[in-house]
Structure 1
């Protein structure tokens, strides 16, 4: 099950939640109760190891 990161625009509360793909996104802040919660998107870390990923690599 994926983990989603949320942040409240009203109070700034940050939290993560395990949710199924079928679950609705959280909109109400568990800290202040306002409907100001939004998902926080970030880059996924990726690391290429070994050869064959770049044009300049020699086989």
Structure 2
């Protein structure tokens, strides 16, 4: 749920309210109790990420992404090479030669 910024036009009190996107806009100021509270434009509609679940490493640089891509490609090549060598050793022609 996003946090919205509000300001009272009567007394100037500013506050943040944590509410759902579909919730009605608040009108009544908690300080002066007048119906002059207005929601401010800005970053209030965005979701605020807090907590230990988000890390700087979640957003890697382009250089890191390219190096990781090369690393994964080299690993996939090694796997395909080992599959080819396994296929050669299980080839019936090569086993026939060994039995002769």
State TM-score, norm by structure 1: 0.69
Which structure has the highest strand share of the two? Answer: 1
Partners of 1:43 and 1:33 lie apart in 2 by 26
Root-mean-square deviation (CA), in Å? 1.9
Give how far 1:14 is off: 0.1
Gaps of 5+ in 1: 45-49, 51-59
Which structure would you say has the larger RCO, counting Cα contacts within 8 Å and 6 or more residues apart?
Answer: 1
Match of 1:34 in 2: 34
Give how far 1:18 is off: 0.5
Paired residues in the alignment total 46
Give how far 1:42 is off: 2.5
